[in-house]
Structure 1
């Protein structure tokens, strides 16, 4: 079932919830591991959802194109019901290069997704680094291509790129909330 992300769960400029999650490289990550970056793009995503898969290339391009931005995927889906979302399959996606971002993490309980208010995959949250405290700068879609087969009207990831450019310039993003659309997060019961 397709859902749209919801505004105002995490308020703009609010301190982002911290986490301790294992990545596909077997390291445990928290927000503090990204203190060297000016911004952090967290994308709640997964392996099986066609909406999420349609944004893998955009995520990879943003990760490669911005030195000051860490791009972190977080998979909160229940892998017992959706085996393609297993940690082992996440590793395979990274090893094949389909997901080539700063880190791809497993949110086994879905608690981190709940803390951020994420409801769909993909659901992106752009955080600015404010003296080693990450605060929400933008939450919403990558671009106006909301369905898996849609082409964006401009550059892929344009809305997110505009928000990133603003954050890196020390400004507040002018991009207003436009919901992302994707598969509902498959929460563990």
Structure 2
């Protein structure tokens, strides 16, 4: 009996988090209401407040999961034994729907994200991503695949900004392919830099 109740509670919590992650991605934190989450999840109001004291607590738990999921994807693309430029290519040229926006990045412009409870998972994701991209660029520079004059940290930030800016362009023009076009342009610039003859070549 206790196991059945525990499984039911776990199922309700999972449905609430799944619904919250979907809604935060589609309409952001400020436009998402507890009722929206209840409607999408099919969970009763009592279950919501049993698991989460309020909207902010639910959003924080959902964002923690999204942070972990996106970080795992980034690691699968950017870490490993392949040449660093190939890893950067996999990451930059990943198929993205520009109209949907970044699951975390699109929340960064909301005023509520300045609160630590919501800001922490957003900032943590971008720190992890920046570290992964910086490591790949550093390796490419060390191997002579990119010029020594490049700052790996600045280059990593620029590449991340291309993706986030690509989402903005796609949404501004209502054209989902523009994000991919911006990323392809960034990769073309890396390829051009890698083709520049260097001393000793």
Higher helix share: 2
TM norm. shorter chain > 0.5: no
Q: Whose radius of gyration is greater, 1 or 2? A: 2
Q: Normalised by the size of structure 1, how large is the TM-score?
A: 0.23
The structure with the greater share of residues assigned to strand is 1
Structure with the bigger RCO (C-alpha within 8 Å, sep 6+) is 1
